[in-house]
């Protein structure tokens, strides 16, 4: 606790940065999915699992932005009460994310610009990183500087699907997954690093834990995905399903 207290002290209370960043991350997610609808690349005529996933994950986006604004200029008492709602929301997100990825891999083969095995395990391990960071932020809710930075890093992970719909990922093969799931989402925590340095002359250690968790999740996912066991698990998952019709490697149709 002494280490956490030391990492919590002496940093200015720049609530505006965290509120602004929350809005920008929400804009990436909403903008990405809206772009897909506008361009006709997605539709509302999809199985129920897609709608359940969308409701829960967009609900989290609304909750995160609301919490950031409440911490900036709203009711801290309401912020704390909604925090318990967030704690219960996280497991539901993990379950629905896993169910949707399995459905997409089996029924559609996954996005063609991602390797199937990387998409499968990247989403799974990435979701574990989100759960770990968000849960740590809730546990450290009394350590304000740790809490807000770890939660921002957790939220940054969720911007991956938004970036994935805004970036020209077919042109980024074979680095499409790393671009959408790490290179662009990590810009938000890096902005926090720069903001700390410019404002306080030093960098809060929570940023390194958050960025480290994001990078470790990517590396671990690839180690599993491209291992013989990861490839075999992906093949077993798609066996006998429409998703088996596409090659496991990313390709241009």
- Please state, in angstroms and as integers, the Cα–Cα distance from residue 185 to each residue in 153, 209, 211, following that order: 9, 15, 10
- Please state, in angstroms and as integers, the Cα–Cα distance from residue 17 to each residue in 7, 22, 71, 103, 232, following that order: 18, 9, 11, 37, 45
Task: Give the pLDDT confidence of 80-91 residue by residue, as tens digits.
Answer: 888 888 899 999
Cβ atoms of 93 and 56 within 8 Å: the answer is yes
Mean pLDDT, all residues of the chain: 93
Whether 9 maps to a domain, the answer reads no
Q: With residue 72 as reference, give the H or E element that holds it.
A: helix 48-73
Whether 6 maps to a domain, the answer reads no
How big is the CA angle at 28 (ends 173 and 144), to the nearest 5 degrees? 115
Whether 213 maps to a domain, the answer reads yes
> What is the number of domains present in the chain?
1
Whether 252 maps to a domain, the answer reads no
Whether 8 maps to a domain, the answer reads no
Task: Give the pLDDT confidence of 90-110 residue by residue, as tens digits.
Answer: 999 999 999 999 999 999 999
| pLDDT value at residue 8 | 55
Whether 162 maps to a domain, the answer reads yes
Residue 29: which pLDDT band, with cuts at 50, 70 and 90?
Answer: very high
Question: Which one has a higher pLDDT value, 120 or 81?
Answer: 120
Per the structure, the complete domain to which residue 28 belongs is given by: 15-243
Whether 121 maps to a domain, the answer reads yes
For 34, phi then psi, to 5°, come to -65, -40
Whether 24 maps to a domain, the answer reads yes
């Amino acid at each position: 606790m002494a280490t956490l207290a030391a990492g919590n002290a002496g940093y200015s209370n720049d609530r505006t940065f965290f509120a602004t960043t929350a809005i920008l991350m929400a804009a990436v997610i909403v903008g990405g999915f809206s772009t897909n609808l506008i361009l006709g690349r997605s539709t509302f005529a999809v199985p129920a699992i897609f709608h359940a996933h969308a409701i829960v994950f967009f609900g989290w986006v609304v909750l995160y932005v609301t919490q950031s604004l409440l911490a900036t200029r709203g009711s801290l008492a309401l912020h704390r009460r909604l925090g318990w709602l967030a704690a219960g929301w996280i497991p539901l997100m993990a379950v629905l994310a896993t169910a949707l990825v399995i459905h997409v891999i089996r029924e559609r083969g996954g996005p063609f610009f991602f390797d199937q095995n990387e998409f499968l395990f990247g989403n799974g391990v990435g979701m574990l990183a989100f759960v770990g960071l968000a849960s740590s932020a809730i546990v450290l809710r009394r350590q304000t500087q740790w809490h807000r930075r770890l939660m921002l890093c957790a939220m940054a992970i969720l911007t991956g699907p938004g970036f994935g719909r805004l970036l020209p990922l077919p042109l980024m093969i074979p680095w499409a997954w790393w671009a959408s799931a790490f290179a662009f989402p990590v810009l938000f925590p890096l902005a926090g690093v720069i903001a700390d340095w410019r404002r306080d002359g030093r960098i809060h250690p929570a940023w390194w834990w958050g960025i480290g968790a994001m990078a470790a999740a990517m590396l671990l996912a690839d180690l599993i995905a491209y291992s013989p066991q990861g490839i075999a698990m992906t093949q077993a998952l798609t066996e006998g399903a429409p998703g088996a019709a596409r090659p496991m490697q990313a390709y241009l149709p």
